[in-house]
Amino acid sequence: MTYKLEVKLEADFELTHIFSYYDSISVNLGNKFLDNWEFAIREVCKNPLGYEIKKKNFRQTLIPKFPYLVIFEVNNNSNIVYAIIHAKKHLVKRYKG
């Protein structure tokens, strides 16, 4: 089964902010972050039900080599990304649903 991807506006804003931060630190670090984000999303789209439900219907995956989690929900044939947050953020603040 093929799963579609929907990235909510807030998550897209977070993605842009994180990219800009890493890009300001070092040349190409922002691009490396985006490459790892894309890898994580491809893996989620291949098998989203393989990720454990953490709270309510939310699942998460870590962006490789970076301390960020992608918080998403599987809804019918879609993966809906709600947030990209730092992995050290308090558990209660991770899930806004």
pLDDT in tens, 25-77: 998 999 999 999 999 999 999 999 999 999 899 999 999 999 999 999 999 88
φ and ψ at residue 17, rounded to 5 degrees:
-65, -45
At 2, is the secondary structure helix, strand, or coil?
coil
| pTM metric for this prediction | 0.88
**What pLDDT band is residue 94 in, cutting at 50, 70 and 90?**
low
Question: Residue 71: how many CB atoms within 10 A of its CB?
Answer: 22
Q: Which pair of structure tokens corresponds to residue 8?
A: 């909510």
Q: Is the pLDDT of residue 92 over 90?
A: no
CATH numeric code, 4-94: 3.30.2310.20
Q: In what order do the strands lie in the sheet with 4-7?
A: 4-7, 78-86, 68-75, 58-62, 53-55
* The pLDDT of residue 22: 98
Category of 76 on φ-ψ map: left (φ > 0), alpha (ψ -120 to 50) or beta: left
